[in-house]
Amino acid sequence: MKKLIVTADDFGAAREVNEAVEIAHRDGILTAASLMVGAPAAFDAAERAKRMPDLRVGLHLVLVEGRPVLPPHTIPDLVGRDGLFRTDMARMGADIFFRPAVRRQLEGEINAQFDAFQAMGLRLDHVNAHKHFHLHPTIASTIIRVGRSFGLHSARVPYEPARVLAGIDSKAARAPIAIMAPWSMLLRRRFRADHIATPDRVFGLRWSGAMTQPRLLGLLRRLPEKGLSEIYLHPATGPYPGSAPGYCYAEELAALTDPEVVSAAGEPDFQLGGFSDFL
C-alpha cells in the first residue's frame, strides 16, 4: 500500500494561494496544507479550511523572509529595519546558535505562531518551516519544546531520495539537495526520539515551484510501497504580491487536478490522507 500525503505550502500567503488550495482539495488530490499564520490572507485560509473538514492543516513556521507574529521591536535580532524577518539565513542561524538573547526571541516567536494557529480554531495536523529552517538544531529543539503544549505529533523532514527522482529525470539525481541528507537524518532521529512522527521520504525539494504534471505523475507511479511519503507543492491561481519569481504556481495547481493524476492516485494501492491519518 502506498501511503501518501499531498501538501500545499504557503497556505494563507494570498487569496490566490487559498483559492488554489480549495480547488486542489475539492477537485484534485490535495490532502493537507501548511498555514502561514502571520501572512496577509491567513484568516481567509482558516475560514476556508473550516469549510473543508477533510483537509488536514498544519503550521508552516516562518522565521525567515516573512512577517513575524510578535511586534518587531520585541524580536529585534530576528528582523531587519523593515520589521520583516531577516533574509541572511546563515548569519541568522549562527546568531540563534551562539546568542542566548536571540534564542529567547526565537522561542517567543515560535510560541506566538503556535498560539496564533490554535486561536484560529484549527486542529494541528503537522508542522514544518519555511525554507526548511527547522533543519537548524536549535530551531528543531525549540519547536519540540514549544510544540508539546500545543499537541504537536507530526512534522516534515526534508529527505528526498535521489533514486526515485532519477527514474523520472536523470539530471535530478545530481541535484545539490543531497547535501541536506545528513542533516535531515539527524532531524528525523531527533523528532522520532521525541515521539513526533515524520514521513519516510518527502518530494518537492528538487522541483520546488516546478512540480508539473509529468513530474507529479512520475512520482505517483514510482512511490515506494513501504512507509509514508509526502509530496509538497506551491499551488496558486497565479502570481501574487511576494510570490517567488519563476515559480509555476498555476501549473502546479493544474497538476494536482489533472485527470490522469487523479486517476493514478485513486488506484486501490494508494491511501491518501494527512499526517494525523497515518499516526
pLDDT tens, per residue, the chain with 279 residues: 999 999 999 999 999 999 999 999 999 999 999 999 999 999 999 999 999 999 999 999 999 999 999 999 999 999 999 999 999 999 999 999 999 999 999 999 999 999 999 999 999 999 999 999 999 999 999 999 999 999 999 999 999 998 899 889 877 655 556 677 888 999 999 999 999 999 999 999 999 999 999 999 999 999 999 999 999 999 999 999 999 999 999 999 999 999 999 999 999 999 999 999 998
Interhelix angle 137-147/89-98, rounded to 10 degrees, is 60
The answer to whether 203 touches 233, Cβ cutoff 8 Å, is no
Q: Which CATH number fits domain 2-278: 2.40.37.10, 3.20.20.370, 3.30.230.10, 3.40.605.10?
A: 3.20.20.370
In one-letter notation, the amino acid at residue 277 is D
Q: Among all chains, which residue has been given the C-alpha cell 511586534?
A: 71
- Three-class secondary structure of residue 148 per DSSP: helix
* Cα–Cα dist 214/211, whole Å: 8
* Cα–Cα dist 207/37, whole Å: 25
Write out the H or E segment, with its range, that includes residue 140: helix 137-147
- Alpha-carbon Rg for the chain, nearest whole angstrom, is 18
Structure-block grid coordinates of residue 11: 497556505
The answer to whether 77 touches 101, Cβ cutoff 8 Å, is yes
Contact partners, residue 241, CB within 8 Å, separation at least 6:
14, 40
Strand partners, 179: none
Q: Among all chains, which residue has been given the C-alpha cell 504580491?
A: 241
Structure-block grid coordinates of residue 256: 494536482
In one-letter notation, the amino acid at residue 74 is T
Write out the H or E segment, with its range, that includes residue 10: strand 2-11
Nearest to 277 by CA among 153, 188, 189: 153
Q: What is the pLDDT of residue 174?
A: 57
Phi and psi angles of residue 123, each rounded to the nearest 5 degrees, phi first: -80, 130
- Three-class secondary structure of residue 151 per DSSP: coil
* Cα–Cα dist 229/249, whole Å: 22
Structure-block grid coordinates of residue 216: 507529479
The answer to whether 86 touches 79, Cβ cutoff 8 Å, is yes
Q: What is the pLDDT of residue 178?
A: 65
- Three-class secondary structure of residue 88 per DSSP: coil
The answer to whether the Cα torsion of 262, 267, 269, 272 is positive or negative is positive
Q: What is the pLDDT of residue 169?
A: 84
* Cα–Cα dist 173/205, whole Å: 12
Structure-block grid coordinates of residue 102: 536571540
Strand partners, 3: 228, 271
Reported pTM: 0.95
